[in-house]
A = this chain, B = another copy of it.
Amino acid sequence: MPAPDNSLRIRVLLAKDMPFGPGKADLLEAIRETGSIAAAGRRLGMSYQRAWDLASAMNSHFREPVLAPAKGGARGGGSALTPFGEEVLAAYREIEVLAAAAVAEKLDWLRQQMVRE
């Protein structure tokens, strides 16, 4: 489930050098859907190097892998979300939903303060 809309972006600092925001969440989701880091990166307009770096950072900072090699991809070298990766992604998406609900009223007020276009 993607974020409800694009108007609220949340980045959480999970450890000293481990921010987690829309980029990593979208990457996990795209890997689940495409079955590979390379294809996920392409879908998101991310370089292969960047997609790989983000995936690698997640796998090394979480206490369990969020991604694992998947058999049977197009050339047999795919990746899949682990069950733990699914939990992590779901937790972040829930954070987005909870935050959006909590701030809706104040955010509406701020939007009403903009110049009418």
Contacts and interface: CB of A to CB of B under 8 A. Distances in A.
Interface of A: 6-16, 18-21, 60-64, 84, 88, 91-92, 94-95, 98-99, 101-103, 106-107, 109-111, 113-117
6 contacts: A7-B13, A10-B10, A61-B115, A91-B106, A98-B102, A102-B102
A9 B6 contact: no
A114 B61 contact: yes
Contact of A115 (B20, B62, B99, B116): B62
Nearest to A16: B117
A113 to B, nearest CB: 5
Contacts of A6: 13
B88 A113 contact: yes
